[in-house]
Amino acid sequence: EIVLTQSPGTLSLSPGERATLSCRASQSVSSSYLAWYQQKPGQAPRLLIYGASSRATGIPDRFSGSGSGTDFTLTISRLEPEDFAVYYCQQYGSSTLFGPGTKVDIK
Amino acid sequence: QVTLRESGPALVKPTQTLTLTCTFSGFSLSTSGMCVSWIRQPPGKALEWLARIDWDDDKYYSTSLKTRLTISKDTSKNQVVLTMTNMDPVDTATYYCARNRYYYDSSGYFVVSAFDIWGQGTMVTVSS
């Protein structure tokens, strides 16, 4: 069974800085089935990226996804105050698996 | 506008069966390609996918919880129901339902999407 690992566990940055979040799979994942979500306290997750690199509807272009095989990256080019949250990667398809999450907090 | 809303008991006792209902609007589960999933999140922990039901009544379950879960749909009521048997305090979590759907990708394959719309979640506590 595939295992998703996210790093770092916590990323402490200032507004305006660049955030780079990693998601690593224990075996190769089709890029078509890799997504990223943002979750703020008390809220449901929000889809940011699907198919490893396609932005979901309404997602600002400061969010970008890349990667293939076992290594995937979510990049936030310049952090806005509303971007401080927890981010999950997900492998989806006939079964679905989420990573443990990366918390992006204010330095 | 697509919306989903979870409902069910806030408190269940250990060994009891939990029944949750996801009521949705803005799409129909009788439409080809539509799917609804259940996902849960224990307090302070990560998301865990539980089950999915497709428009054609195909069902998929988490390997680790398969023996305890049943997912079903009532297309006329726009509802998806999840039952989980033998509840335990470790099942305390916020339970979400979410929509995904099949679509044709650039290569012409009919592939399933990520979860594009989520309900707000319902918190379930398991305690005697």
Ramachandran angles phi, psi of B13, nearest 5°: -90, 150
Which residue in this structure is represented by tokens 């929000």? A46
Q: Tens-of-pLDDT digits for all 107 residues of chain A? A: 889 999 999 999 999 999 999 999 999 988 779 999 999 999 999 999 999 999 999 999 999 999 999 999 999 999 999 999 999 999 987 678 999 999 999 99
> Token pair for residue A81?
């105050």
Percent of chain B with pLDDT over 70: 100
pLDDT of residue B103: 86
Mention every residue, 6+ apart, whose C-beta is less than 8 A from residue B52.
A96, B35, B36, B37, B38, B59, B60, B71, B100
**Cβ separation of B116 and A96 shorter than 8 Å?**
no
pLDDT of residue B109: 84
**Cβ separation of B111 and A50 shorter than 8 Å?**
no
Three-state SS at B68:
helix
**pLDDT above 80 for B89:** yes
Return the beta strands (E) in chain A as ranges. 4-7, 10-13, 19-29, 34-39, 46-50, 54-55, 63-76, 86-91, 97-98, 102-106
Nearest CA to A75 out of A58, A90, A63 is that of A63
Interval B3-45: pLDDT, tens: 999 999 999 999 999 999 999 999 999 999 999 999 999 999 9
Percent of chain B with pLDDT over 90: 91
Which residue in this structure is represented by tokens 């012409």? B108
Cross-chain CB nearest to B47 (options A33, A51, A98): A98
pLDDT of residue A95: 76
**Cβ separation of A44 and B118 shorter than 8 Å?**
yes
- Least Cα separation, residue B56 to chain A (angstroms): 14
Q: What is the mean pLDDT of chain B?
A: 96
**pLDDT above 80 for B49:** yes
Give the other-Cβ count within 10 Å of A69's Cβ. Answer: 12
pLDDT of residue B67: 97
- Least Cα separation, residue A97 to chain B (angstroms): 6
Nearest CA to A104 out of A20, A36, A5 is that of A20
Please indicate if any CB of chain B lies within 8 Å of the CB of A103: no
**Cβ separation of B114 and A45 shorter than 8 Å?**
no
pLDDT of residue A32: 79
Q: Is the Cβ–Cβ distance between A44 and B121 less than 8 Å? A: yes
Please indicate if any CB of chain B lies within 8 Å of the CB of A101: yes
Average pLDDT (B92-100) is: 97
Compute the C-alpha angle B70/B72/B75, nearest 5°.
175
Q: Is the Cβ–Cβ distance between B82 and B69 less than 8 Å? A: yes
